[in-house]
Chain A
């Protein structure tokens, strides 16, 4: 079946810098994309989502960019903080199909 993958398994950034986490998806029919943050021992936490009729959406300190031409999704975190250290997952869905998750990127923030 289709799968969503992430380019990098780990990412280390200095506290205060911006972080960019990338994701590639393969299903051209996908029309809904979502990012989750998962801290150790916890369930995935909803960060931000975007639909295919948009190419950018901003939240609090986070921005999601969608490039449908190359089937690429990214999550930008501004002024990264130690509390942002976690594994980040992207997922996609097309219509009423279940979310397909990538393997995740572990973000480590260096104080």
Chain B
């Protein structure tokens, strides 16, 4: 069974640009959660989607958004990038909710 796939693995963007990250969950999983990981703040929850609906949202500005498609694949978008958005962005999939969540390898975003 294939694991969680995140693309791209690495990204370098300039301040002010926008970026879209993709996450394909484990087959059959309907819940996708996104996390931001930085050395200073650790793993912080961004949002969670289940059956194309956002069920929970973390404490991040509106520049961070996401969506989920009918095949459970999810994308997150960050607009007007800031230097502080440099981080490892992780997505996790689970059957439903937050139990037995499996992570992808992450997308390393660097904003210059």
CB within 8 Å of B: which residues of A?
32, 34, 36, 42-46, 49, 89, 91, 93, 96-104
Contacts and interface: CB of A to CB of B under 8 A. Distances in A.
B89 to A, nearest CB: 10
Contacts of A91: 43
Nearest to B90: A43
A43 B106 CA distance: 6
Contacts of B48: 98
A42 B105 contact: yes
B3 to A, nearest CB: 9
14 contacts: A42-B106, A43-B4, A43-B106, A91-B43, A93-B98, A93-B99, A96-B55, A96-B56, A98-B45, A98-B98, A99-B98, A101-B43, A101-B44, A102-B42
B98 A104 contact: no
B102 interface: yes
A98 B56 contact: yes
Contact of A34 (B4, B33, B42, B101): B101
B91 to A, nearest CB: 9
Nearest to B58: A98
Contacts of A34: 99-101
Given A36-B103, A96-B56, 9 more contacts: A34-B100, A44-B90, A44-B92, A93-B97, A93-B99, A96-B55, A96-B97, A99-B45, A101-B43
Nearest to A1: B59
A42 B107 CA distance: 10
Contact of A46 (B42, B101, B104): B101
Given A97-B56, A98-B56, A104 B42 contact: yes
Contact of A32 (B44, B55, B99): B99
A46 B58 CA distance: 22
A3 to B, nearest CB: 9
Contacts of B58: 98
